Structure 1
Amino acid sequence: MRVLLLGGTWFLGRHVAERLVQRDDAILLAHRGSPRSSPAVPGEHLYGERRDLARHAARIKEFAPDAVVDTCAFTAADVDAVLPVLPEVPTVVLSSQDVYEAYTGLRCGRELSPLPLTEDSPLRRDRYPYRGAGHPDVPDDYDKLDVEERWLPRGAVVLRLPLIYGPYDWQRREEPILRRVRAGRARIPIGAANLLWTRCHVDDVATGVLAALDNRAVAGQAINLGETSTATIGTWFRQILSAAGSSAELVQVPDRALPHDLALSGAQAQHLLVSVTRAQSLLGWTAGDPAERVADSVRWHLAHAPADVWTDADTAADEAALA
């Protein structure tokens, strides 16, 4: 196929692009060339701001895509800017499981939704969950609900994604544990660590994206992706330690004492545990073994450590929690 990727040079999009090229698809990556973008991602690169895509309408028409993958629609304006430019071809759009009301429950500490979450579970009634947070990578008008409401009527397949980990993860999901391993910490403070949050390795998610791209029968549907079995965040931390070859002890402390980067290990009233039955039945898709996937991810992140290092302030925060 000839596939137009909106984005495609960071984390998941990068893996999707590489997989498309491996199977001899031709790809055009339309992106703004941000500092996180890798020019090494294979394919032709079309540089420009997403909301100025109309300026490149002739190039997109010349490329004549058979399909579109939208990896970076975060707001209503992101979608409104590109819909008039894009051909009406099979499209896969990356969304998030933060569209569910359960995500509101997780943020406010209340149980709002029964589990597991299916594609028919209640969606968030509140909008713009990060407004005012000042997050450098998340605009105030971020809301995947706005994105879905614009793409689904056009027949796009919307993939609701879980917590994704693996090589090139710019959020470095395992880092709260790995940075302590690198610092030689023997004891690591955690909370109740009871949270069940569906996860998935980036390679498995990329496989799901390609499966949705190839299946015309799922047009206009939302589909959850994720691992079929989910351990608590405490067990996940232990898997990370084991994969890193660390004998560090996880020590439970009061939630109020937790260092900020371990706050997610506090006691949680609402979980984000999703059912992937629809993905299995309609796409024939399933994820790999979580323990093997965690080990693969940890190996990569140990070999590609971030520039920041453990500080005296970090030590003080951990020691205060352990005390």
Structure 2
Amino acid sequence: MDSALVIGGTRFIGRHAVTEFREAGYDVAMLNRGRRENPFGDGVEHVTGDRRDRDALETARERIDPDAVVDCVAYFPEDVATATDVFADADAYVYVSSGAAYGEERVPKREGQTALEPCDDEQATTDSAATYGPRKAEGDREVFAAAEDGVRAMSVRPTVVYGPHDYTERFAYWVDRVAVRDRIVVPSDGLSLWQMAYVEDVATALRIVAERGEAGEAYNVGDEHAPMLTQWVDLLAETCETGVEQIGATARDLAREGLEPQDFPMYRATPHVLSVEKLRSLGWSSTPHRVGLQRTVTEHRENGRTGRKYGPDRDTETAVIERVTE
């Protein structure tokens, strides 16, 4: 394969996917609405169009004739069904699904073994946080159906993604807290276990699956080691070369200040860990945390990412600290 089309491409996972394919020697083009500046300049061809418009997909197919298609912004099952039809003759179509597609709480969650979320007709067309997992699961089913019809379509399921250019700023909340505070609240004593995936590793997985994956298969992607939240804070303190005291707060402690554990980014009440054995069998491996964190912290600081609006404000956090330590 020599050419790749990334549907999306300017923000987070798509941006790193473009870089990954370019560095692997591909001619790369992007399809998106053109609402954000092309960070790659003239080095990456840009097709302007709405990915939900079939005509835009067909225009991209005719102009680019891509060998590989990476679909980063398919949020509805219909998006996947249309794209696998339009790009049926491509050598590879790779759908960015999500670990949220799993509908069963198991540790770890495994492709083909752990049940996916069901998705009814209303969920399939409703854009909300509650329907995100079901919609992604139904997108996986569209991939499987396309493969049965002879399309080399595959799915990559990342767990929650962090890294440079993360516009969600979920992880940035903790970077900021560790960098500027000496005492911070960690809910439930930091025992939250939510496996994360470094964005460059997700991009590498997309390329490897395009090149070596099997049609009709899904591949989990996440860090090969899953620290608990308190361990992430320690790793960040080491990266930021600072010291920070973690104040563990129970749900009762937080409730007294009008908070709950879920108000803190990256907190999860139940463990969420994906097996990555299947992806590793294709030759993939994850980036060491210290390397990924250094790149992440550097970019977040350079671009002023703080994530402060995504977690408790400092005054409320201070009130929790005072109550817990009094």
Q: Secondary structure at the match of 2:170?
A: coil
CA distance in 2, matches of 1:144, 1:95: 5
Shift of 1:195: 1.9
What letter matches 1:277 in structure 2? E
Residue 228 of structure 2 is aligned with which of 227, 232, 244? 232
Once the two structures are superposed, residues 138-193 of structure 1 have per-residue CA deviations (whole angstroms, 9 ceiling, x without a partner) of 987971012111122223110110121111111123222233345x3221111122
Once the two structures are superposed, residues 253-277 of structure 1 have per-residue CA deviations (whole angstroms, 9 ceiling, x without a partner) of 12251476426547x2x21111111
Q: 1:168 to 1:59 in 2, by over 3 A?
A: closer
Shift of 1:27: 1.9
The range that moved more, 223-232 or 140-149, is 140-149
Segments ≥4 residues shifted beyond 4 Å: 126-133, 138-142, 258-261, 307-310
CA contact (8 A) 2:95 2:154 kept: yes
Q: 1:141 to 1:80 in 2, by over 3 A?
A: farther
What letter matches 2:316 in structure 1? A
Once the two structures are superposed, residues 103-155 of structure 1 have per-residue CA deviations (whole angstroms, 9 ceiling, x without a partner) of xxxxxxxxxx331111121222466499685x6xx987971012111122223
Q: 1:315 to 1:173 in 2, by over 3 A?
A: closer
Q: Secondary structure at the match of 1:82?
A: helix
Q: Secondary structure at the match of 2:6?
A: strand
Query: Which residue does 2:150 correspond to in 1?
Result: none
CA contact (8 A) 1:240 1:294 kept: yes
CA contact (8 A) 1:159 1:222 kept: yes
Query: Which residue does 1:172 correspond to in 2?
Result: 169
Residue 163 of structure 1 is aligned with which of 160, 165, 190? 160
Residue 123 of structure 1 is aligned with which of 106, 116, 126? 116
CA contact (8 A) 1:32 1:48 kept: yes
Q: What is the CA RMSD across the aligned residues, in angstroms? A: 2.8
- Map 1:176-187 → 2, pairs under 5 A: 176-181=173-178, 184-187=180-183
Q: Secondary structure at the match of 1:51?
A: coil
- Give the fraction of aligned pairs with identical amino acids, expressed as a percent: 24
CA distance in 2, matches of 1:132, 1:93: 18
Query: Which residue does 1:148 correspond to in 2?
Result: 140
Q: 1:263 to 1:130 in 2, by over 3 A?
A: farther
Q: Secondary structure at the match of 1:167?
A: coil
Query: Which residue does 1:94 correspond to in 2?
Result: 96
**1:200 and 2:224 are equivalent in the alignment:** no
Query: Which residue does 1:49 correspond to in 2?
Result: 50
Q: Secondary structure at the match of 1:150?
A: helix
CA distance in 1, matches of 2:30, 2:127: 31
What letter matches 1:98 in structure 2? A
Q: Secondary structure at the match of 1:272?
A: coil
TM-score (norm 2): 0.82
CA distance in 2, matches of 1:196, 1:11: 23
CA distance in 2, matches of 1:242, 1:157: 38
Q: Secondary structure at the match of 2:299?
A: helix
Once the two structures are superposed, residues 201-230 of structure 1 have per-residue CA deviations (whole angstroms, 9 ceiling, x without a partner) of 111221111111111x51210111112211
CA distance in 1, matches of 2:97, 2:302: 30
CA distance in 2, matches of 1:65, 1:299: 34
**1:250 and 2:249 are equivalent in the alignment:** no
What letter matches 2:195 in structure 1? T
Q: Secondary structure at the match of 1:168?
A: coil
CA contact (8 A) 1:67 1:91 kept: yes
Query: Which residue does 1:304 correspond to in 2?
Result: 303
CA contact (8 A) 2:178 2:233 kept: no
Q: 1:64 to 1:9 in 2, by over 3 A?
A: same
Q: 1:224 to 1:84 in 2, by over 3 A?
A: closer
Query: What are structure 2's unaligned runs of at least 5 residues?
Result: 148-152
TM-score (norm 1): 0.83
Q: 1:92 to 1:59 in 2, by over 3 A?
A: closer
Q: How many residues align?
A: 301
CA contact (8 A) 1:243 1:299 kept: no
CA contact (8 A) 1:73 1:94 kept: yes
Q: 1:277 to 1:250 in 2, by over 3 A?
A: same
CA distance in 1, matches of 2:214, 2:60: 29
Q: 1:80 to 1:4 in 2, by over 3 A?
A: same
